[in-house]
């Protein structure tokens, strides 16, 4: 199955509140010649085994698909994008047809028959979800109550709030219950029909090698790409040369407005004004900064003791091994990066490095070893990712096979 369609199915099905409960309504069939009635609930956009998919269902799915997409309003309104919009609509319609094919087959195979325990669990999940939304709307609920309201009065208003929310979103409690029951069916069918598809050791190792090579290529051109991986929370498969760890002691301005004012001047492009304000402000912390640096240089205190007793950087509590720094780093202020990279040997300590936050004293603690990350440290993560990918693809290919065996008619002119 086309990966683009797979992605679209995932997006539509994940964002829609109900998978199939509203897909078919026993109503007038309008997929025939003659004027189209002005009622989306009876306008047919497709037929699956002579069962219609109505436009109101399509509208809900298309709205879910468009929700949150940047610039979508302009695309939908501009005539120049008409062909693009029609293509989008047809893809969403295709996702609904595939959805219908899936549930037709699940029904045929007996997966839509639920145990009493599953039915109870679905009802419990419905109540938990509605309770969550009631909690989120507590401010609105209590705003309608008089002071000293009782638990019973609050519950009544909460029930009214939930009913209004359901009505506004054209959703019933049964719709939500059906959503969870449908999930049970899909989960069980996936387990039975594609659950035995697992990645081999060779596939996991091959994926590891691919990931390592991709990371190596990206970072060989720009070592700061390492920082982008780290900042994005992505798994790092290759460590380039030139990455080091540093710790710091920050002696900051007691008045935070100084840092804010310097930052505002820099944002405005007034570097001269920012530097002048910085130089005027540094004497406020000079004595304390000199004292700490002097104690470090004389050996009176260790860097650990200085961090514990003098440091204003709370981040050191969470990054005990230090911050990751490299040439071209954008995670830190430029003077800090330059000060950190100017240190020549592990164990070196800088002088006072001024930034808009105050004075920094930087310790060069270690170098990260160049090369690929240890295979065993990422093996399980790669296995899990491949497992999900292989089973997802197998599942959607299976559903696509079910779809090919159905008699399907499209009425895209009604979209």
The pLDDT assigned to 24 comes to: 32
Q: In this structure, what token pair is assigned to residue 34? A: 């003659």
The pLDDT assigned to 1 comes to: 44
Integer Cα distance of 24 and 41 in angstroms: 10
Helices (H), strands (E): how many in the chain? 16, 9
Integer Cα distance of 310 and 251 in angstroms: 7
Integer Cα distance of 90 and 73 in angstroms: 18
In tens digits, what is the pLDDT along the chain, a chain of 415 residues?
444 434 444 444 444 433 333 333 333 444 444 444 557 778 999 999 888 999 988 998 898 888 878 889 899 999 999 999 999 999 999 999 999 899 999 999 999 999 999 999 999 999 999 999 999 999 999 999 999 999 999 999 999 999 999 988 878 999 999 999 999 999 999 999 999 999 999 999 999 999 999 999 988 888 888 988 888 888 999 999 999 999 999 999 999 999 999 999 999 999 999 999 999 999 999 999 999 999 999 999 999 999 999 999 998 989 988 999 999 888 899 999 999 999 999 999 999 999 999 999 999 999 999 999 999 999 999 999 999 999 999 999 999 999 999 999 999 999 9
**Contact of 350 with 343, CB cutoff 8 Å:** yes
The pLDDT assigned to 228 comes to: 85
Output the CA torsion sign for 32, 35, 40, 45: positive
Q: In this structure, what token pair is assigned to residue 377? A: 């440290």
The pLDDT assigned to 38 comes to: 58
Strand partners, 53: 46
Q: In this structure, what token pair is assigned to residue 328? A: 């071209």
Q: In this structure, what token pair is assigned to residue 352? A: 């006072």
**Contact of 76 with 84, CB cutoff 8 Å:** no
**Contact of 406 with 48, CB cutoff 8 Å:** yes
Q: What is the largest CA-CA distance in the chain?
A: 95
Provide the 3-class DSSP secondary structure of residue 185.
helix
The pLDDT assigned to 22 comes to: 37
**Contact of 215 with 373, CB cutoff 8 Å:** no
Burial of 28 (0-12, 13-18, 19+ CB in 10 A): middle
Residue bearing tokens 């944002």: 267
Residue bearing tokens 């994940």: 14
**Contact of 157 with 145, CB cutoff 8 Å:** yes
Residue bearing tokens 């920012």: 274
Integer Cα distance of 251 and 312 in angstroms: 6
The pLDDT assigned to 400 comes to: 92
Please state whether beta strands 244-252 and 353-355 pair in parallel, antiparallel, or not at all (unpaired): unpaired
Integer Cα distance of 297 and 359 in angstroms: 16
**Contact of 251 with 289, CB cutoff 8 Å:** yes
Please state whether beta strands 371-372 and 358-367 pair in parallel, antiparallel, or not at all (unpaired): unpaired
Q: What is the dihedral of CA 403, 405, 407, 408, to 10 degrees?
A: 20
């Amino acid at each position: 199955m086309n990966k683009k369609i797979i992605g679209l199915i995932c997006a539509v099905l994940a964002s829609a509140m109900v998978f199939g409960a509203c897909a078919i309504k026993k109503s007038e069939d309008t997929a025939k010649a003659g004027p189209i009635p002005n009622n989306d609930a009876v306008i047919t956009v497709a037929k699956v085994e002579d069962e219609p998919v109505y436009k109101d269902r399509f509208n809900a799915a298309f709205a879910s698909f468009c929700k949150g997409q940047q610039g979508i309003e302009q695309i939908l309104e501009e005539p120049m994008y008409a062909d693009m919009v029609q293509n989008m609509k047809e893809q969403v319609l295709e996702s609904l047809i595939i959805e219908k094919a899936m549930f037709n087959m699940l029904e045929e195979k007996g997966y839509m028959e639920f145990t009493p325990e599953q039915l109870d669990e679905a009802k419990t999940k419905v109540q938990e979800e509605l309770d969550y939304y009631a909690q989120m709307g507590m401010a609105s609920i209590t705003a309608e109550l008089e002071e000293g309201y009782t638990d019973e009065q609050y519950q009544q208003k909460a029930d009214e709030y939930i009913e209004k929310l359901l009505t506004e979103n054209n959703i019933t409690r049964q719709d939500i219950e059906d959503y969870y029951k449908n999930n049970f069916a899909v989960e069980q069918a996936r387990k039975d029909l594609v659950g035995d598809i697992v990645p081999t050791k060779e596939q996991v190792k091959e994926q590891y090698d691919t990931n390592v090579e991709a990371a190596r290529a990206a970072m060989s051109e720009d070592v700061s790409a390492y920082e982008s991986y780290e900042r994005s929370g992505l798994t790092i498969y290759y460590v380039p040369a030139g990455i080091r760890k540093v710790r710091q002691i920050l002696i900051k301005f007691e008045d935070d407005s100084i840092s804010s004012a310097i930052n505002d001047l820099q944002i405005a492009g007034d570097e001269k004004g920012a530097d002048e304000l910085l130089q005027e402000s540094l004497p406020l912390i000079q004595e304390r900064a000199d004292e700490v640096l002097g104690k470090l240089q004389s050996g009176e205190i260790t860097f650990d003791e200085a961090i514990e007793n003098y440091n204003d950087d709370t981040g050191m509590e969470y990054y005990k091994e230090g911050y990751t720094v490299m040439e071209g780093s954008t995670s830190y202020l430029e003077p800090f990066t330059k000060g950190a990279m100017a240190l020549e040997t592990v164990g070196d300590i800088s002088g006072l490095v001024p930034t808009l936050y105050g004075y920094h004293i930087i310790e060069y603690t270690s170098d990260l070893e160049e090369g690929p990350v240890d295979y065993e440290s990422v093996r399980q993560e790669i296995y899990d990712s491949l497992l999900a990918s292989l089973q997802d693809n197998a599942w959607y290919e299976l559903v696509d096979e079910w779809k090919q065996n159905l008699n399907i008619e499209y009425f895209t002119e009604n979209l």
